[in-house]
Amino acid sequence: SIRYMESCGGLIKNSQGQASHVIVVSRDITERKQAEEEIRNLAFHDALTKLPNRRLLNDRLAQIMAASKRSGCYGALMFLDMDNFKPLNDRHGHDVGDLLLVEAARRINSCVRGADTVARFGGDEFVVILGGLDVGRVKSIAQAGIVAEKIRAILAEPYVLATQQESGAESTVEYRCTSSIGVALFLDHESRPEDILKRADMAMYQAKNGGRNLICFYE
36 shares a domain with 104:
no
For 113-142, the pLDDT digits (tens) are: 999 999 999 999 999 999 999 999 999 999
Average pLDDT, the chain: 90
CB within 8 Å of 159: residues ≥ 6 apart: 99, 100, 103, 104, 173, 174, 175, 176, 177
Q: What band does 83 get if pLDDT is binned at 50, 70 and 90?
A: very high
Asked whether residue 184 carries a pLDDT value surpassing 80, the answer given is yes
Same domain, 68 and 108: yes
- Region 34-54 average pLDDT: 80
- Whether 92 and 142 map to the same domain: the answer is yes
Single out the catalytic residue among 59, 124, 195, 201. 124
Give the residue numbers spanning the domain of 1.
Answer: 1-44
Domain count, the chain: 2
Is the pLDDT score of 32 beyond 70?
no
What distance separates the 2 farthest-apart alpha carbons in the chain?
A: 90
Nearest to 64 by CA among 215, 182, 196: 196
Residue 212 pLDDT greater than 90, yes or no: yes
Tell me how far apart the alpha carbons of residues 4 and 11 are, in angstroms, rounded to a whole number.
Answer: 24
Domain match, 2 and 110 both: no
- Is residue 39 domain-shared with residue 63, that is, in the same domain? no
Q: Is the pLDDT of residue 36 over 70?
A: no
Same domain, 96 and 204: yes
- 79 and 171 share one domain: yes
CA-nearest of 61, 89, 71 to 192 is 61
- What percentage of the chain reaches a pLDDT higher than 90? 71
For residue 27, is pLDDT > 90? no
- CA dist., res. 92 & res. 19, Å (int): 73
Q: Is the pLDDT of residue 213 over 70?
A: yes
Query: Which of 20-24, 49-53, 145-149, 163-167 is the least confident region?
Result: 163-167
The string of pLDDT tens digits covering residues 156-172 is: 999 999 887 777 788 89
- Is residue 98 annotated as a catalytic residue, yes or no? no
